[in-house]
Amino acid sequence: MNEAHDYDAIWRRSGATLWRAVYAYSGGRRDVADDSVAEAFARVMARGSEVSDPVAYLYRVAFRVASVELARSGKEVAEVPEMAIADPTQNGLPDLLRALKDLTPAQRAAVYLHYRADMPVRQVAQLMGTSSAAVKVHLMRGRRRLASLLGEDDE
């Protein structure tokens, strides 16, 4: 195994945000988030110095693994499970996760990364492996859908 990056530092800096993003993307499936993030870290560590941007690589791999698992299982989560990351400062997060379940996976990822993880559109596009324009479309459609689900204005 080639030790090209400080994976402990990457985990401390990005691991929790990645896990939450995949958790939201999967509609609250903790098993999918756990497995996808673990698989992404295993793959980036195996590739070592071949990966120039390990955080972007982690996001792309984790979302792909989660996507495959969701397609394979074909399961929808009827209710958002008990929050694995109970944080009283995150008001409305359970309601948001329930509403995110009704978005497309790409909309879920874009909305969560941009609005909850506070990432700029360009960074979301890089992490999702798509263009900024595509992310803006996912954000617009996701906002509209969330506004109707949560009974709020689109602003």
Q: Record the pTM.
A: 0.71
Any residues with CB less than 8 A from the CB of 108 and at least 6 apart, and which? 24, 25, 27, 100, 101, 142
pLDDT at res. 93: 63
**How would residue 84 be classed by pLDDT, with cut points 50, 70 and 90?**
very low
Q: Do residues 154 and 143 lie in contact, with contact meaning Cβ atoms separated by under 8 Å?
A: yes
pLDDT number for residue 78? 38
Among 17-26, 70-79, 102-111, 128-137, the minimum mean pLDDT is found in 70-79
3-state secondary structure of 118: coil
Give tens-digit pLDDT for 93-142. Answer: 677 677 777 888 888 889 888 988 888 999 999 888 889 999 999 999 99
Q: What is the mean pLDDT of residues 67-74?
A: 84
Please list the alpha-helical segments (H only) found in 48-75. Answer: 54-73
Sign of the alpha-carbon torsion through 123, 141, 106, 101: positive
Task: Measure the CA angle with vertex 83, ends 79 and 85; round to 5°.
Answer: 155
- Give pLDDT, residue 25: 84
